[in-house]
Amino acid sequence: MRVTDFDFELPEELIAQQPPTQRGQSRMLAMDRTTGELRDSHFSDFPSLLRAGDLLVLNDSRVIPARLYARRTLRREKEKPTGRIEVMLTEPTGDNRWRALVRPGRKITIGERLVFPDVNGQIALEAEVLERGEYGDRLIEFAPVEDFFGILDRIGHIPLPPYIHREDESADRERYQTVFSRERGSVAAPTAGLHFTPLMLEQIAACGVEIARVTLHVGLGTFAPLRVQRVNEVRLHHERYSIPAETADAVNRAHCERRRIIAVGTTVVRTLEAAAKRTGSELLAAHSGETNIFIAPGFEFQLVGALLTNFHLPQSSLLMLVCAFAGRESVLAAYRHAVDNRYRFFSYGDCMFLA
């Protein structure tokens, strides 16, 4: 199977550039995995598609303001200063070190020192480039500071994906976070969760639906373009995850009692299925770890019985995961239906419920 087997045509104007006026106002395409039947709906109808005893699993990772702007420190008196340098933090590696994407990258070499000013021009952070990665990423080390994440909150920008063709705005600080986010660490939002409001979660709980949380910190590797032609050659970056004891217990009870486990987003699918694969059992244990699990057609799901997810990029690993869950032809037919009916796509777009 080839990566191009997961392609579809998408008019540029259907890529959502802004969130809905109010959280939770998105449209929702409901799909029966058995028959392929589609039903146009709205996310406000989501509780009516649930039943008492379902277990709804959320990803509570919180997006950090990972896009920073730096300038070089000049090493020679006659050296010309460069313009603004964009540094996108992608993954912490310990000891003040981060993997990062740097633009423009060609001039930023190993040993370069970067400074990160605040709005007043005062230096808030300093870093040195230690390594250059395989695809042009960098390993950088920040000089120690007392409150690194506090400084990020002050000078950093929300890392909107590249298909949103605008600078981040103050409203994105709230809208590019789920209302249940709490564990800081993602550089991209787990977007299926963006639709929920506190009131919606209360309504779902009142229906007798159990709610549990996992944490998977979303890295840019999840959204990176695939650089191979065949699906069996795809390799993903590792992402950090954690499953608390109460969630492991809830999943195990639901599975043993044959109650439906509903994943809110592909990140939850990857977390639960990676954990089941790790233990070699359908029963989970509380733990933290890393996963680069790649789910494509032919994958045998152990735990997840239904999926709420946004629409994904053509030829992406996330689209392949959805196709693995509900069938490639059926999912691509659903995407064509969504295009024909002018659904909004990607992070700030509409959603699908596959059950």
Kindly report the CATH number that applies to the domain delimited by 67-155.
2.40.10.240
CATH topology match: 3-63+171-354 vs 67-155: no
Q: Which comes out higher in pLDDT, residue 81 or 171?
A: 171
- Which among 280, 277, 274, 307 is positioned nearest to 292, based on CA atoms? 274
Kindly report the CATH number that applies to the domain delimited by 3-63+171-354.
3.40.1780.10
pLDDT higher than 90, residue 60 = yes
Q: Are 29 and 38 in contact (CB under 8 A)?
A: yes
Which tens digit of pLDDT belongs to each residue from 10-41? 999 999 999 999 999 999 999 999 999 999 99
pLDDT of residue 222: 64
- Mean pLDDT lowest for which of 106-115, 133-142, 176-185, 222-231? 222-231
C-alpha dihedral (202, 194, 56, 225), degrees to nearest 10: 180
Q: Average model confidence (pLDDT) for the chain?
A: 94
- Which percentage of the chain shows pLDDT scores above 90? 86
Say what the pTM is: 0.94
Q: Are 99 and 93 in contact (CB under 8 A)?
A: yes
Whole-number Cα distances in Å, 154 to 103, 125, 147, 256: 21, 11, 11, 47
Rounded to 5°, the CA angle 240-244-296 comes to 50
- Mean pLDDT lowest for which of 125-134, 297-306, 338-347? 125-134
Domain positions in the chain = 3-63+171-354, 67-155
